[in-house]
Structure 1
Amino acid sequence: MHIEEIRDYCIVKPGATEETPFGPDTLVFKVGNKVFLLVGLDQVDALSFNVKCDPEYALELRNEYPATVIPGYHMNKKHWNTIYCNRQLPDEKLRSLIDHSYELVFASLPKAVKENVK
């Protein structure tokens, strides 16, 4: 998976927006003004992204794929994972982790915000 594929996959999700609030080198995807994925634009050798994850599932993934899934870099380690692309996981699994993050964040939004997401 390449960074363009990550962007294309994230931006078509209902209500998804993209920003660079941490500077020009970090692309952030949000739904309802809450982050569901971060990816560094300056990565050359090892592309990775951060996604939110159910804490128990996060631990399972880290144990099963130690070379690919690590505690979220610069994030709450309980709820966020850093996922390395093009290692142990196929693109389909990477997309499912993006979906999981989006769904967790969307589920946490207030009802009024959810109703306005299109």
Structure 2
Amino acid sequence: MDGKTLQETAQERARSLPVVTLEYPFGPAWEVFKVHGKVFMLMTEVPGRPVVILKSDPEEAEALRASHADITPGYHMNKKHWITLAPGASIDPQLVEDLVTDSYRLVVAGLPKAEQPVNPKTFGVPEAEAQ
């Protein structure tokens, strides 16, 4: 997956999620996607290539980094809880969409229940897994 497609796929998925805002708190080089004021995705080309930075469960993040050459620890973020997706053959559009959704769900789960726009335990999870 090339860089433009990576960011386009991530952005398209992020914009489709409920109550998402796009902000530029770090200047025009950083697109920051939030749900109720909490960051769940960042996009930039600051490291010299287009990247997408997402929140991830620490164990899942470790497994993703081990199995995908184009997934590394979060750029300028907590390396345990964030991952960076870079353009490359080990990433496909479905994986990008799934990881954006997972990041969103993790952040929503941390919001007060009254502010959660979706049920983080079931949103975006195939029915068999949600059981």
TM-score normalized with structure 2 length: 0.79
Which residue of the partner structure matches residue 33 of structure 1?
Answer: 37
Structure 2 residue aligned with 1:23, among 27, 38, 58? 27
TM-score normalized with structure 1 length: 0.87
Structure 2 residue ranges without an equivalent (≥5): 119-131
Q: Secondary structure at the match of 2:13?
A: helix
Aligned residues: 114
Q: Secondary structure at the match of 1:104?
A: helix
CA drift at 1:56: 0.3
Task: State the AA in 2 paired with 1:21.
Answer: P
Which residue of the partner structure matches residue 126 of structure 2?
Answer: none
Q: Secondary structure at the match of 1:23?
A: coil
CA drift at 1:7: 1.9
Q: CA RMSD in A?
A: 1.9
Q: Secondary structure at the match of 2:26?
A: coil
Whether 1:12 and 2:16 are equivalent positions in the alignment is yes
Distance (whole Å) between structure 2 residues aligned to residue 12 and residue 71 of structure 1: 25
Residues 89, 2 of structure 1: CA spacing in aligned structure 2 closer, same or farther, 3 A cutoff? closer
Structure 1 residue ranges without an equivalent (≥5): none
Distance (whole Å) between structure 2 residues aligned to residue 64 and residue 4 of structure 1: 23
CA drift at 1:51: 0.1
Q: Secondary structure at the match of 2:76?
A: coil
Distance (whole Å) between structure 2 residues aligned to residue 2 and residue 64 of structure 1: 18
Does the CA-based 8 Å contact 1:85-1:94 persist in structure 2?
no
Does the CA-based 8 Å contact 1:51-1:101 persist in structure 2?
yes
Distance (whole Å) between structure 2 residues aligned to residue 94 and residue 3 of structure 1: 9
Q: Secondary structure at the match of 1:21?
A: coil
Task: State the AA in 1 paired with 2:41.
Answer: L
1:39-58 matched pairs, under 5 angstroms: 39-40=43-44, 42=45, 46-58=49-61
CA drift at 1:89: 1.4
